Amino acid sequence: MPFEPEPYLHLGPAFCRTRKMEPPDRPLPPDEWRKLKESFGKPQRFDVQMMTSMFISESELDVAKSLLTFVAMETGTLSYELLLRYLTLCVSGGHDEEVFDVYDIMREIFPSLDTGATTLFIKSFSRTDRWKEAMNLLDEIKKVFTPSPRNYGDVISAAMLHGDTNTAWALYDELLEKGLSPHPETWCVLFTRAEMTEGAAHEAEHHQRLLGILLYMRNNQIYPNKMVANAIKTWFERGLCGCCGSELESIQLTAEEYQELKEKVIADVIQGRDVFKKTTPEELEHFKEFVRRKPPFDVVVDGLNVANVNRDKTKLSHTLLAVVSELKHQGLTILVLGRKHMLRPSISWDRKNMSLIQQKAHCFFTDNISEDDPFLLYATLHSGYHCRFVSRDLMRDHKACLPDGATRRLFFKWQRGHQLVLDGFVAAGNRVKFQSIPSYDTIVQTTSDSWHIPYDDTEDRSTYEVPQRWLCLTKKP
């Protein structure tokens, strides 16, 4: 049977013993750690049990680091098991830079790594620009065990996200040859990144490979889950004019375009001269540190902007809670940006609702004079290309801060592909719905023999929404 470790789930017998071992809520100096250990009766493996408890409690990284410092001072060394538990916490929390440091330490101290640690390193490296090192780690596992579908899937996803489709498909073929069944997440990446292929011949090949996945499901009686089904549906329907069959320009940015946009937005908008009219240097640095300590977000919510979609000012916190609850129901990691006055109980901001929001999402509340845009842009771009944001803001002010027309066009293309918009008001008892983001770009498009022009067929379209109707003009031969 192929080996498929899940070290961040299989916590071992220490789990049962650590349920009552609550970790501290702040980093402790060594003398306070010593007192805490004594208060538990100096149990054996205190460090491992405490680190396990930190993982379960999703403790801040600085707290875990202070435990490592204490153990190193007490014993002069760090055990493999302790470092493995710390590694698990880092990977689950998205602290990839810290994972790199742990990798260097474990490589230097220990002659070899077990497959549990290697699996964690593959997962983390695959999320970063050092993804090719994950391929080397995958080769190391092959010498001992058959890698798990998740091991393969992490590297396949990394290859696709970085435009190396040849490597992705080669690893996918290898996975099948070993008799393994791909994880649903792997199929999702292959289908959702289909539009990133370059050139007609390359795209045609990729198209045939995706059809091969559907045949594989048919031949093996596999029923895709809802996430995979949605990815297949989007791919199947993507970017074709229903009138002439021409392929429309994708809404996706290439990896190079995204990196260029990210760097320029951070330099010219977030760190630009005008930003401190909207916040203070201290507050912005505090927020950046807050984001660095958190895992990558899937969605960033402009709390005040979203709450005000409801014209009933007594329902603001209710509206925001409904939106956050729907995103949480989708299994997303959420950041809610708000203002400090939202934490003061009032007719608009119910204490219970705000408490529930803070349980379901990471929250950051700025000073009441600050504006949320720089924070929203930084958190969304810092989290990676997958991250979207919920707001009705057009962000036109930021367009003026960007250095040239090409960058401004990239910014608004990114915005059109990442801005989630509520589908109407949030009524009591009704589930929140968001307007779908099409896979093609809603902008005037042209080829050698056709024009495709999005146009308004309604007078009540909000300025932050895109038209839904298209004019197809094709030259006759």
Q: Check: CB of residue 48 under 8 Å from CB of residue 81.
A: yes
Q: Please state, for a pLDDT cut of 70, what percent of the chain lies above it.
A: 86
Q: 244 is written with which tokens?
A: 């002439």
Task: Identify which has the larger pLDDT, 457 or 340.
Answer: 340
Decide if pLDDT at 430 tops 70: no
Q: What is the pLDDT of residue 55?
A: 92
CATH 1.10.287 fits 14-237, yes or no: no
Model confidence at 80, pLDDT cuts 50, 70, 90, reads very high
Residue-wise pLDDT tens digits, 338-392: 999 999 999 999 999 999 999 999 999 998 777 778 889 999 999 998 899 999 8
Mean pLDDT, residues 18-31: 83
Residue-wise pLDDT tens digits, 214-252: 889 988 888 888 888 888 877 776 666 767 767 788 888
Residues 6+ apart with CB under 8 A from 225: 184
Triad 326, 92, 172: Cα angle to 5°: 90
Mean pLDDT, residues 101-113: 94
Decide if pLDDT at 192 tops 90: no
Q: Check: CB of residue 134 under 8 Å from CB of residue 167.
A: no
Model confidence at 277, pLDDT cuts 50, 70, 90, reads low
Decide if pLDDT at 126 tops 90: yes
CA distances from 417 to 83, 142, 250, 470 (A): 40, 39, 9, 18
Mean pLDDT, residues 294-300: 93
Q: What is the pLDDT of residue 351?
A: 94
Q: What is the pLDDT of residue 219?
A: 85
pTM of the predicted structure, to 2 decimals = 0.56
Q: Check: CB of residue 464 under 8 Å from CB of residue 423.
A: no
H or E element that contains 450: strand 450-455
Model confidence at 19, pLDDT cuts 50, 70, 90, reads very low
Q: Which of 8-12, 58-62, 90-94, 322-326 has the lowest mean pLDDT?
A: 8-12
Decide if pLDDT at 66 tops 50: yes
Burial 285-314 (b: 16+ CB within 10 A, else e): eebbeebeebebbbbbbbbbbbbebbeeee
Decide if pLDDT at 12 tops 50: no
Q: Check: CB of residue 102 under 8 Å from CB of residue 87.
A: yes
Q: What is the pLDDT of residue 461?
A: 64
Q: What is the pLDDT of residue 304?
A: 92
Q: 160 is written with which tokens?
A: 């696709």
Q: What is the pLDDT of residue 16?
A: 39
User: How many Å apart are CA 5 and CA 3, to the nearest integer?
Assistant: 6
Decide if pLDDT at 89 tops 70: yes
Decide if pLDDT at 265 tops 70: yes
Domain positions in the chain: 14-237, 255-436
Q: What is the pLDDT of residue 359?
A: 94
Q: Check: CB of residue 59 under 8 Å from CB of residue 23.
A: yes
User: How many Å apart are CA 461 and CA 469, to the nearest integer?
Assistant: 12
CA distances from 276 to 279, 288, 441, 460 (A): 5, 15, 33, 35
Q: What is the pLDDT of residue 7?
A: 42
| Radius of gyration of the CA atoms of the chain, in A | 25
CATH of domain 255-436: 3.40.50.11980
User: How many Å apart are CA 241 and CA 173, to the nearest integer?
Assistant: 33
User: How many Å apart are CA 221 and CA 370, to the nearest integer?
Assistant: 55
Q: What is the pLDDT of residue 28?
A: 95
Strand 445-446 with 450-455, pairing: antiparallel
Strand 362-366 with 334-339, pairing: parallel
Q: Check: CB of residue 147 under 8 Å from CB of residue 141.
A: yes
User: How many Å apart are CA 416 and CA 413, to the nearest integer?
Assistant: 5
**What does the DSSP assignment read for 158-169?**
HHHHTT-HHHHH
Residues 6+ apart with CB under 8 A from 7: 84, 88, 116, 117, 119, 120
Q: What is the pLDDT of residue 465?
A: 67
The count of other CB atoms within 10 Å of the CB of residue 7 is 20
User: How many Å apart are CA 116 and CA 111, to the nearest integer?
Assistant: 15
Q: Check: CB of residue 301 under 8 Å from CB of residue 323.
A: yes
Model confidence at 108, pLDDT cuts 50, 70, 90, reads very high
Q: Please state, for a pLDDT cut of 90, what percent of the chain lies above it.
A: 47
Decide if pLDDT at 35 tops 70: yes
Q: What is the pLDDT of residue 237?
A: 62
Model confidence at 135, pLDDT cuts 50, 70, 90, reads very high
Model confidence at 276, pLDDT cuts 50, 70, 90, reads low
Cross-strand pairs, 474:
450
Decide if pLDDT at 14 tops 50: no
Strand 419-420 with 388-390, pairing: parallel
> Could you give the 3-state DSSP secondary structure of residue 86?
helix
First to last CA, the chain: 60
Q: Which residue has the tokens 């929250």?
A: 363
User: How many Å apart are CA 223 and CA 246, to the nearest integer?
Assistant: 31
Task: Identify which has the larger pLDDT, 350 or 18.
Answer: 350
User: How many Å apart are CA 246 and CA 451, to the nearest integer?
Assistant: 10
